[in-house]
Structure 1
Amino acid sequence: MKSIIRRFKGSRTIPQVVAICIGSLSLLTACVQYAWTSPYIPIITSEDFPGNITFEEASYFTVIPPLTAIGLCAVFSKLADRIGRKRVLILSGPVHFAAYVLIYFGRTVTPFYISRFLSGLGDAILWASLPVYVAEISEPHVRGTWGNVPAISGYVGQVLINVLGSYLHLQTSTILSAIVPVVFCCAFAFMPESPYFLLARGRHEEAQKSLRLLRGGQNCDDEYKQLTRDVNRQLSETGTLKDLFLIKSNRRALFIAVGARAASQMSGIAAFTVHTQYLFEQAGQNISKELSSITFSAVLLVLATLGAFYQDKFGRRPLMIGSCLGCGFILLVETVYFYLNDKTSVDLSGLRWVPLAGMILYLFCFSFGLSLIPSLLVGELFSTSIKANAMIVTNIFFDGFICVITKVFQTLTYNFGLYVPFLIFTVSCFINAIRSYLFLLETRGKTLEEIQQMLKK
């Protein structure tokens, strides 16, 4: 670990890391709002809450954000190509803040619906700009480790809202959560724009200034000249939505990016998230739902943070394959356990520790590959000319998967038992391990232009 940390102590690296960390505050806020429903739907639908909101009405809180993001991601992906990644990303701050204001004053279901719409709007904004911004401002060795900060900040957001929701009143936690988008806007306003975007818009002096700021004021003339050639070559290619599917390199990048996102969603993380308390109970640990959720999200945060520092050591491809295989074998054991527990009379009293132990091992395997690499690949794989359209398609698939997987998981669990969705996730992990072995590119240590040349081979 010390050798890894020493690599990032140079002044050339620090500005890139700072820009990535501040930009990632937008995703921290988004994940706070995404996970907000877990601790607060029971409170809002209780008899003590003044709005008389029913559970049926509150059930739409989880659906509105991804549907909104699907409908609006095209607008902000195009806007990021017109006015810049930085300007679009900073818009997420006021949007998320407005969502908190509505939560604070909400007493009936309508303000909460509008708040959830704004949350989805913020998601559309940041997913159209943040992955691209992080990839374009950072050097390969920085991107390999610190490019995972957005995903890690998302886990921080989940831990934060689980803690706040467990111990604080709705209004109090809302005030504290609303501080984050304010800090993000104030700090990110001083961050430089992506030099890739500035070169693509013909703003060469600004691009050179931005690159110099991101490299700590050091001489970067050679890098600037190479970057100019790379952007000009990429812009010489057509970038329509049709080209995303017709040009082989674009189609290959899309297949890898969407496949990685699908692999993450189909890996079973939702199953463990929803049934954390049940797994603790099976192990004989009678703890509250709140504490089990905090424990789960905190363990995932710690393991994902550790995993981020080893991606450049082992590479994306081996870690993704290993993550899929590890999760697959663990899910297979869990599937057998739940089948025996639900459908047979086999005595499992001596094996009650299996579900909880499986969850911990699963989080270890998930955190080193499936939790981080998909988001990183989205920012790395696409040419400058096609990025806007690529963000539209990948975000539609991502939000669509969230909606479908959540509903399918609930339906299968209710009608057939827990072992059926676990079996589906098991098969999915093994399939995605094979897909990663056959098709996933190793982007470790590669510039964005080098990745484009790999895609063309």
Structure 2
Amino acid sequence: MSVSYEVSINADKKDFTNNSEVVYKPTTEENNKFDKSFHSLKPENEIVPKDSGYLYITAFIADLLGFVAGIGFAWTSPVLPKLQGPDNPLSEPIDASQASIIASILCVGAAFGPFIFGYAADKIGRKKTLILTALPMMVSLGILAYTDQVKLYYLARILYGMGDGGVFTVLTMYTGEITQDHNRGKFCCIMGIFIALGLLFPFSIGPLLSVKLFCLSSIVPLLIFLAIFPILAPETPGYLVTRGNIDQAEAALVKLRSKSKNEVKPELNEIIELIESEKNEKGGIVFLFRSRAPRKAFMIAGGLMIIQQVSGINAVTGFLENIFLATGSSIPPQIATTLIGVIQVFTVFITSSLIDKLGRKMLLLSSALGLAVSLTLLGLYFFLSKHQFAFVTYIWWLPIVSLIFYIICFNFGVGPVSWAMVSELFPSNVKSSATAMVSATNFGVSFLITMAFPLISEMLGMAQSFWLFGVCCILGAVFILLIVPETKGKTAAEIQQMLNK
């Protein structure tokens, strides 16, 4: 049985710490009428605990896996041009179909990884499973650094994908289980910052290095993770309680909250009560689809994952340099892609500070609409360029601005916020199975999109390809508006009650 527990300390409960700060008061559907012009963001003397330095350190070290996972998705941007040019480390240059397979086959492994590592997370724990996810990525990078056979590239990318799928599944669970209601969204977005940094690494460093050195340098964060995480990081308190290790769960809470045993007792007792209340309920995939709340949660989470991928993010990032070359822009592709990577990191950082203030739904909706606008403009440029309109030379800046706006919008909501919601929508007794299935859905759709993008762009043209992604984003905005609930400031129990309605 998978356990994820988040605790909220409200103003009407006893304050168990003197180390506290005043934050905004979360709004609810009942008291938030949108008639006070964002007055709900103002502090209203609700006391919640400060986040401990130990929690930040633990999250940062764990998120190194997210950094390497991000590298995997953007790895093709600097590498594919080299595999098709004179610096090719393979025995012969690759063709368009081989490039498409190398870019997309990672998602095949990523679709299976969640089930393998999700199962392991329930059997051996979140901490040990996170350590295991580093191994296939390390082996993959080693193969990519030294092989000269394209078939081994396929194998290596599948292995990398398995690790990626495991990271997105188990790291999401781990982050949700070591945090609390008041900071869960923020720490899930911090995970997104590390992923964005991982995407930036190939854009900025990849073009400067040979394929071999680039792959070997990507192993360094994994070595740091493996050296520190097993010693420093605790197992999640919720998982320890399910195994009957109450003393170890208490010790983990003492570290994560930087409090005494007496101060963490209330949180520990609530975790124990939650686990006890779920013992009579079966978990797993059967319960996921038979019960209303988990079934609705899966529909919402799965829908958000599909929206995330049909926005074209992996197609855009994986072929970013090729897209810039196709625009004929005077800006070197390396500089343009690096700039976009920096903006991506900055945007996720801003999102991490807004997600628990503005709420999930507002960020998701504005993100989807912004993506539609940026893709429409990007498609317009390629359409005008293809038909050789004279004034197109005066709008050479449009694809750069459109892609920057695209990256900002994606990382403002659809990217990191979708994963934050996955960490909080499911009850603990189905969280492992549900997260694995949601992650597999994400990577399955990602595989189809990444595989099809080069072919669609050749058949329909770049403009029509981007317009197609834009239409998908508009449909996604409708889904978010009508189906996705607001979970800001709500406890796990409140979220389940809302989904049961």
Same fold (TM over 0.5): yes
2:243 matches 1:191? no
Q: Is the 8 A contact 1:234 1:385 kept in 2?
A: yes
Distance 1:289 1:207, change over 3 A: same
Looking at structure 1, the residues matched to 104 and 89 of structure 2 have their Cα atoms a distance apart, in angstroms, of 23
Structure 2: segments with no counterpart, 5+ residues? 1-20, 24-45
Aligned to 1:213: 255
Looking at structure 1, the residues matched to 326 and 113 of structure 2 have their Cα atoms a distance apart, in angstroms, of 41
Aligned to 2:74: 35
Aligned to 1:14: 53
Q: Is the 8 A contact 1:319 1:368 kept in 2?
A: yes
2:163 matches 1:122? yes
Looking at structure 2, the residues matched to 449 and 172 of structure 1 have their Cα atoms a distance apart, in angstroms, of 49
Task: Report deviation, 1:25.
Answer: 0.4
Looking at structure 2, the residues matched to 119 and 252 of structure 1 have their Cα atoms a distance apart, in angstroms, of 31
Task: Report deviation, 1:336.
Answer: 4.2
Distance 1:153 1:455, change over 3 A: same
Aligned match of 2:181 in 128, 137, 140? 140
Looking at structure 2, the residues matched to 59 and 411 of structure 1 have their Cα atoms a distance apart, in angstroms, of 8
Looking at structure 2, the residues matched to 167 and 436 of structure 1 have their Cα atoms a distance apart, in angstroms, of 41
Task: Report deviation, 1:279.
Answer: 5.4
* Alpha-carbon displacement from aligned partner over 1:186-223 (angstroms, at most 9, x marks no partner): 22112011111112222222222212211113411111
Looking at structure 1, the residues matched to 451 and 211 of structure 2 have their Cα atoms a distance apart, in angstroms, of 27
Distance 1:398 1:323, change over 3 A: same
Query: What amino acid maps onto 1:199 in structure 2?
Result: V
Distance 1:97 1:353, change over 3 A: closer
Task: Report deviation, 1:122.
Answer: 1.2
Task: Report deviation, 1:249.
Answer: 0.5
Aligned to 2:196: 155
- TM-score scaled by length of structure 1: 0.90
Aligned to 2:28: none
1:407-422 equivalences in 2 (<5 Å): 407-422=451-466
1:57-136 equivalences in 2 (<5 Å): 57=98, 59-136=100-177
Aligned match of 2:368 in 307, 316, 324? 324
Task: Report deviation, 1:347.
Answer: 4.5
1:220-369 equivalences in 2 (<5 Å): 220-270=264-314, 272-273=316-317, 274=319, 278=323, 285-342=329-386, 347-369=391-413
Looking at structure 2, the residues matched to 113 and 421 of structure 1 have their Cα atoms a distance apart, in angstroms, of 26
Which SS does the other structure have where 1:365 is aligned? Answer: helix
* Alpha-carbon displacement from aligned partner over 1:329-358 (angstroms, at most 9, x marks no partner): 333344445444435857544444333333
Which SS does the other structure have where 1:18 is aligned? Answer: helix
Query: What amino acid maps onto 2:402 in structure 1?
Result: G
* Alpha-carbon displacement from aligned partner over 1:290-343 (angstroms, at most 9, x marks no partner): 222222222212222122211111010111111112222333344445444435
Distance 1:9 1:225, change over 3 A: closer
Looking at structure 1, the residues matched to 47 and 288 of structure 2 have their Cα atoms a distance apart, in angstroms, of 36
Query: What amino acid maps onto 2:76 in structure 1?
Result: T
Aligned to 2:16: none
Task: Report deviation, 1:359.
Answer: 2.6
Looking at structure 2, the residues matched to 63 and 353 of structure 1 have their Cα atoms a distance apart, in angstroms, of 29
- TM-score scaled by length of structure 2: 0.83
Distance 1:286 1:333, change over 3 A: closer
Q: Is the 8 A contact 1:13 1:142 kept in 2?
A: no
Aligned match of 1:204 in 230, 246, 251? 246
Q: Is the 8 A contact 2:278 2:429 kept in 1?
A: yes
Task: Report deviation, 1:247.
Answer: 1.2
Looking at structure 2, the residues matched to 231 and 267 of structure 1 have their Cα atoms a distance apart, in angstroms, of 38
Looking at structure 2, the residues matched to 316 and 109 of structure 1 have their Cα atoms a distance apart, in angstroms, of 42
Which SS does the other structure have where 1:220 is aligned? Answer: helix
Task: Report deviation, 1:264.
Answer: 1.5
Looking at structure 2, the residues matched to 337 and 174 of structure 1 have their Cα atoms a distance apart, in angstroms, of 34
Q: Which moved more, 1:381-390 or 1:341-350?
A: 341-350
Task: Report deviation, 1:176.
Answer: 2.4
Q: Is the 8 A contact 1:20 1:134 kept in 2?
A: yes
Looking at structure 1, the residues matched to 269 and 65 of structure 2 have their Cα atoms a distance apart, in angstroms, of 32
Distance 1:8 1:84, change over 3 A: farther
After superposition, the CA RMSD in angstroms is: 2.9
Looking at structure 1, the residues matched to 484 and 435 of structure 2 have their Cα atoms a distance apart, in angstroms, of 19
Aligned to 2:3: none
Query: What amino acid maps onto 1:194 in structure 2?
Result: T
Which SS does the other structure have where 2:423 is aligned? Answer: helix
Structure 1: segments with no counterpart, 5+ residues? none
Distance 1:50 1:396, change over 3 A: closer
Which SS does the other structure have where 1:140 is aligned? Answer: coil
Query: What amino acid maps onto 2:222 in structure 1?
Result: P
Distance 1:95 1:241, change over 3 A: same
Q: Is the 8 A contact 1:276 1:296 kept in 2?
A: no
Distance 1:378 1:53, change over 3 A: farther
Distance 1:296 1:9, change over 3 A: farther
Distance 1:260 1:49, change over 3 A: closer
Task: Report deviation, 1:119.
Answer: 0.8
Instruction: Percent identity, please.
Output: 27
Distance 1:117 1:362, change over 3 A: closer
Distance 1:449 1:212, change over 3 A: farther
Task: Report deviation, 1:157.
Answer: 1.0
Structure with the bigger percentage of helix: 1
